[in-house]
Amino acid sequence: MSEALDLEGWSCPLPLRDQPNIIMGHGGGGRLSAELIEHLFVPAFAGTQLADVLRQLGDAAVFDLGGARLAFSTDSYVVHPRFFPGGNIGDLAVNGTINDVAMSGASPFALSVGVILEEGLAIDELGRIATTMGEAARRAGVSIVTGDTKVVDNGHGDGVYINTTGVGLVQAGLDLGPHRVRAGDVIILSGSIGMHGIAIMSVREGLEFGSDILSDSAPLNGLVATMLASGADVHMMRDPTRGGVAATLNEIAAASSTGMKIVESSIPVDEDVRAACGFLGLDPMCVANEGKLVAFVAPEHADLVLEAMHGHEYGRGATSIGMVVEDHPGLVVAKTGIGGTRVVDFALAEQLPRIC
C-alpha cells in the first residue's frame, strides 16, 4: 500500500466534452457515457420520489414495493453483428439483464422483451434469435412475461435491437453496493476476461486467431446464489461488460472513495485472447465480458466464497486479483509484470463500439 505511484503512462486524452452531437463513445460505457448520464439524464429525471435510487447508478435499482424488495434493471442490445462465436444478440440480451439484476444480490424472476425490428429482416432469423432467448431464459430459470414489437423502416435500424428489462427479488437483510466496499476487501474475479469483446471483434473484422474465441455470454444468477448461500460477507458485485474490468474497478473506486490495488499477473486471460489483444492493440482489462463478475468480499471470507465459486460452472476460474486500499482513493493501480505500477485508466470512450 505504500508503494510510490508511477504516474507515467497515465493516459490523459484530450477530452471532447464540448462537442454538440452524440458520438459513438457516448454509448461505450466509458467516461463519455458516464458524463452523459451524470450531466444530462440524472438532472432531467431528478425530483421524483426515487431520484436517489437513480443517482446510485448501479446496474440495477433496488427499492421496496408492496412489502417486497425489488431489483429492477434495463439494457438495450445493439451488438453488431447479431450472430457471433458463442452466441447471438438474443441470448446476450437475456443473460445480460439477468446478470445486471443478479449483481444487486437479487434473484432475477421475470423479464420483459422489447424488439425494434428493421423492415426487411428475415423472419427466420428473428425466429432463431427468439428461440435462443427462450432457451437462455429457461436455462437461467427466469420467465419472459411481457413484450413489445416495433418495426422501423429500412435504413433506420440494423436488423434487430432488443431491450430486456428484469425484475428480481432481493432477500431480506441483503445490502450490496459501493457504500459497503472498504479498505481490506479482497477483489475476486470469476474467470478469464476479454472473451466476449474479442469474439465480436474477430467476426466483425474477419480476423482469424488460430482457434475460435467464443463469447463468454452466460447467466450468472446461479453463481451469485451460490456465493451468497456460502454465508460469505459479500460487499458488492458487478459484471464487467462495456469497458471491461478496468471500467468496473474505476467506477467502484470512484463511487466508494477507495483505492484499488491489483496484481496484473493474477488476472486470468486466455492465451488466445491475450494474443488477439496484442494483435489489435487492446488492453484485455478494457475488453467487454458477458459472463464474468467482480466481487468485493470481506478478507476473512475470501477463501469461503472462492471455494463456493469453484464448485459452480461459471466460477471455476475464480481468483483474487487484488484488494481495496485506503491510499489513492478513486484510483485503480496495477502492479505490472515487470514489477512497476501503472494507473489502470477508465477509457474515455469504448475501444469496441456496439459490443452489446
CB of 345 to a second copy, least distance (A): 21
Q: How many residues bind a second copy (CB under 8 A)?
A: 89
Residues 158-187 that bind a second copy (CB under 8 A): 158, 161, 163, 165, 167, 169
- Return the closest-CA partner of residue 126 out of 151, 95, 90: 90
Could you say which DSSP state residue 29 is in?
T
Cell triple for residue 306? 472462492
- Find the length of the chain: 356
Residue type at position 184 = G
Nearer to a second copy, 126 or 298 (CB): 126
CB of 35 to a second copy, least distance (A): 11
Nearer to a second copy, 35 or 283 (CB): 35
Largest CA distance in the chain: 60
Nearer to a second copy, 86 or 157 (CB): 157
User: Are 187 and 322 in contact, with CB atoms under 8 Å apart?
Assistant: yes
SS3 102: helix
Nearer to a second copy, 123 or 338 (CB): 123
Cα–Cα distance, 346 to 118 (Å, whole number): 34
SS3 334: strand
Half-sphere exposure of 163 (CA within 13 A, CB side): 11
Q: Strands of 29-94 (E only): list them.
A: 61-65, 68-77, 83-84, 87-88
Going residue by residue from 302 to 331, which x/- string records binding to a second copy, judged by CB under 8 A?
------------------------------
Residues 55-84 that bind a second copy (CB under 8 A): 58, 60-61, 63, 65-70, 72-78
Nearer to a second copy, 248 or 258 (CB): 248
Nearer to a second copy, 61 or 214 (CB): 61
Residues 40-59 that bind a second copy (CB under 8 A): 40-41, 44-51, 53-54, 58
Going residue by residue from 104 to 143, which x/- string records binding to a second copy, judged by CB under 8 A?
-----xx-xxxxxxxxxxxxx-xx--xx-xx--xx--xxx
Residues 12-31 that bind a second copy (CB under 8 A): 19-28
CB of 165 to a second copy, least distance (A): 4
- Return the closest-CA partner of residue 181 out of 333, 325, 24, 30: 325
Torsion of CA 302, 181, 103, 162, to 10 degrees: -140
CB of 153 to a second copy, least distance (A): 7
Going residue by residue from 210 to 229, which x/- string records binding to a second copy, judged by CB under 8 A?
--------------------
Cα–Cα distance, 345 to 277 (Å, whole number): 17
Residue type at position 331 = L
CB of 279 to a second copy, least distance (A): 24
